[in-house]
Amino acid sequence: MDLDKLKEKIKSNFYIILIILLAYIGIKLIDNANLLVTLYNFTLNLLWPFLLAFIIAYILNPLMRFLETKCNLSRGISLLITFIVVSLIVAFCIVYVLPEVISNIKALVNSIPDMVTIADNWFQNNLSIDLANKLAKKLNLIQNIGEWSTKLFNTALSSLVTFTLSVFNWIFALIIAAYYLYYKEMLLKSSRKFIFFVLRENLGKKFLTFIHSVHYMLSTYLWVRAVESTIVAIACFIGLIFIRSKYIVLISIVFGVTNMIPYFGPFVGIIFGTILNLFISPMKAFIILIYLFILQQIDGNWLGPKMSSNSVGINPIACLFAITVGGKLYGMFGMLLAVPIAGVIKIYYDKFFKKYNNNHPEIMELIDNYEVDITELKLSNPKSIKSSFIGNHPIENKSNNKENDE
């Protein structure tokens, strides 16, 4: 019995020492912020292939699971078919889509000077000369067009070099992702063991519940949204072919990608496609505007609700707020993840207030039935307000004093 007490005492003291040690390390890291940033960058570069592999495995897991459960295939065959399908899609994009996108971007860059000239002529013809000159001087479009083109080409070149260097990371990440998918049950069991070892039973269960909530929201929202945006992009591509639009592939991709962002995302794609055709043919740009707007309305009012069934379950104001915050913090990536993260927050928000309402039923009754009474602040005779106001007005007081003197 004494031995058990001694073990418990050593165990409790061990956790206290560990907490003190971690606190000391945290304070030292805060004091050496530059070292912390360097350590963070080093760790991120070291673990990036493994993080990328986790993202790839997470995206491919539903397809592999579908082949396993619905088609009754083995894990190895399902994994092989999944990678073959993904490889064919990537090869199709590289062979057919990517050259068209590059061609559209080159044509767009080459046509920028003509667009600027058209815009400058429009300003000169439709605005007063002084106002047009002021706008041209303020915007300085003609002088800056060369700098814009140079920056655009430099950015494209650096992106190409970065992509070439990251190909090795992608290949390495694909190999690791295959191992993740094949041994996912074993990895999940090891992760649970580590979580319960570090956080113990109570906190471990809460942490796993949180992870499953995030997984549910991400898988439900992002997959449905991706399929929905792909359908919309294909419909956009087909429609633009019949309209004989310029930059068809580029506009379709931008419209599909921006459609991933709820509410104002599709309107960004609509504006992008309209502006690119505005300098070529205003009438064609107007037709594209109407077509993309109708497509967005079909998606927003029929296709989206049909596929997602309002699965995230947050109201539009909260959704817009989440997108704004996510965009400010992490740009496009933050905007994509903002809605499912807001859905997770809503789950815990509802859970907290459900528990609070069960413990405080009188508050719920007060919320539902309480009516604000301000009758004491109201005067029964509106004329008395006017008379009391006039009676206290200094000008009226002076006139009254004059009448009394007379």
Is the domain of 246 the same as that of 383? Answer: no
For the ranges 57-66, 140-149, 322-331, the lowest mean pLDDT is seen at 140-149
Residues 299 and 396 in one domain: no
Q: Are 254 and 380 members of one domain? A: no
Give tens-digit pLDDT for 234-247.
999 999 999 888 88
The per-residue pLDDT for range 248-307, each reduced to its tens digit, is 888 898 888 888 877 777 888 888 888 888 878 888 889 999 999 998 888 877 776 666
**What is the pLDDT, as a whole number, of residue 7?**
64
Among the candidates 268, 284, 316, a domain finishes at 316
Q: Which two tokens stand for residue 346?
A: 């809503």
Domain membership flag for residue 341: no
Domain of residue 381: give its range.
Answer: 375-400
pLDDT of 155 over the 70 cut: no
Note the pLDDT of residue 80: 92
Q: Phi and psi dihedrals of 380, rounded to 5? A: -70, -35
- HSE of 309, CA atoms in CB hemisphere, 13 A: 1
Q: If you write DSSP's letter for every residue of 10-27 in order, what string do you get?
A: HHHHHHHHHHHHHHHHHH
Are 259 and 384 part of one and the same domain? no
Q: Same structural domain for residues 202 and 291?
A: yes
- Please give the tally of structural domains in the chain: 2
In the block, tokens 């405080």 appear at 360
Amino acid of residue 118: I
- Report yes or no on 229 lying in a domain: yes
Tell me: the pLDDT tens digits for 176-234?
A: 999 999 999 899 899 888 888 888 888 888 888 888 888 887 777 777 788 888 898 99
Does residue 121 share a domain with residue 262? yes
Q: What is the pLDDT of residue 290?
A: 92
Assess if residue 69 is contained within a domain.
yes
Query: What is the average pLDDT across 346-361?
Result: 78
- Can you say how many angstroms the Cα of residue 180 is from the centroid of all Cα atoms in its chain? 26
Last residue of a domain, one of 277, 298, 316: 316
Statement to judge: residues 249 and 385 lie in one domain: no
Amino acid at 216: Y
Residue 115 lies in a domain: yes
In a domain, 29, yes or no: no
Write down the H helix ranges in 127-140.
129-139
pLDDT at 349: 81
Give the mean pLDDT of 357-381: 70
Alpha carbon 201 to its chain centroid, in Å, reads 33
Report d(CA 399, CA 343) in Å as an integer: 67
Q: For the residues 151-169, what does the mean pLDDT come to?
A: 58
Question: Could you tell me if residue 128 is inside a domain?
Answer: yes
Instruction: Indicate whether 336 belongs to any domain.
Output: no
Which pLDDT score is estimated for 402? 46
Residue pair 337/312 in contact (Cβ under 8 Å)? The answer is no
Residues 6+ apart with CB under 8 A from 263: 316, 319, 320, 323
User: Taking the model in full, what pTM does it have?
Assistant: 0.63
Please tell me the predicted confidence (pLDDT) of residue 206.
86
Same domain, 213 and 289: yes
User: What's the rounded mean pLDDT across residues 314-342?
Assistant: 77
Mean pLDDT comparison of 96-105, 151-160, 231-240, 365-374, highest-scoring range: 231-240
Neighbours of 209 (CB within 10 A): 13
Residue 159 lies in a domain: no
Pick the residue with more confidence: 137 or 80? 80
Q: Are residues 310 and 380 in the same domain?
A: no
Residues 6+ apart with CB under 8 A from 233: 252, 253, 255, 256, 257, 259
- Mean residue pLDDT of the chain comes to 76
In tens, the pLDDT along 101-154 reads: 888 877 777 777 776 677 667 666 665 555 555 655 555 555 554 555 555 555
Tell whether 188 and 292 lie within a shared domain. Answer: yes
**Tens-digit pLDDT profile for residues 311-320:** 556 677 777 7
For residues 134 and 262, membership in a common domain is answered with yes
Whether residue 311 is found in the same domain as residue 382: no
The average pLDDT across 59-68 equals 88
Buried-state track 273-287, b at ≥16 Cβ within 10 A, e below 16: bbebbbbeeeebbeb
